[in-house]
Homo-oligomer: A and B are copies of this chain.
Amino acid sequence: MRDYVLSVLVENKSGVLARVAGLFSARGFNIRSLTVAETDSPSVSRMSMVVNADERTFEQVKKQLNKLIDVISIQDFTKKDFLDRELLLIKVNFNSQNRSAIIEIVEVLQGKVLHVGSKSICIEIVGDKEKVATSLQLLKPYNLTEVMRTGVVAIGKD
């Protein structure tokens, strides 16, 4: 079992997401993250997904997706050189004792403080899978009241 990263162009029509999601659920495929966003064409949407599966199951996923009439094309990053990134928005409660430590961590992670309130700060962090895991681990000891993740998007290097 490993994570596979896919980018799927689909028709931007009512029901497409339901059909794709239905396919995954009917076959018990495990989606770790999914993003659906606009493209520069109003009639086309892009789905980026991370699927946790063994190789055989993953090949089935692709085959089944390809059969859907709304699917225009599938980009499989598995054997390609690609960059993956995810965006995290995190809200941390702080007090006078731990504020400096939290801000130090944000700096080390090259994160950005988006907002400072009287009791909490909002942080933006962007990174690949490894950096996201490290970020969450470093911030875990603090009082994280909200963690919003976009899920992974990927882009081929060439």
Interface residues of A (CB under 8 A from B): 7, 14-15, 17-18, 20-22, 24-25, 28, 30-40, 46, 48, 83, 85-87, 89-91, 114-115, 117, 120, 122, 124, 126, 136, 144, 146-151, 153-158
Contact = CB atoms under 8 A, between A and B. Distances in A.
Nearest to A116: B157
Identify whether the interface residues of A are mostly helix, strand, loop, or mixed.
strand
A29 B126 CA distance: 30
Contacts of A149: 35, 37-39, 46, 153
B34 A147 contact: no
6 pairs of A and B residues whose beta carbons are closest in the complex? A150-B150, A37-B149, A87-B87, A18-B21, A15-B25, A17-B21
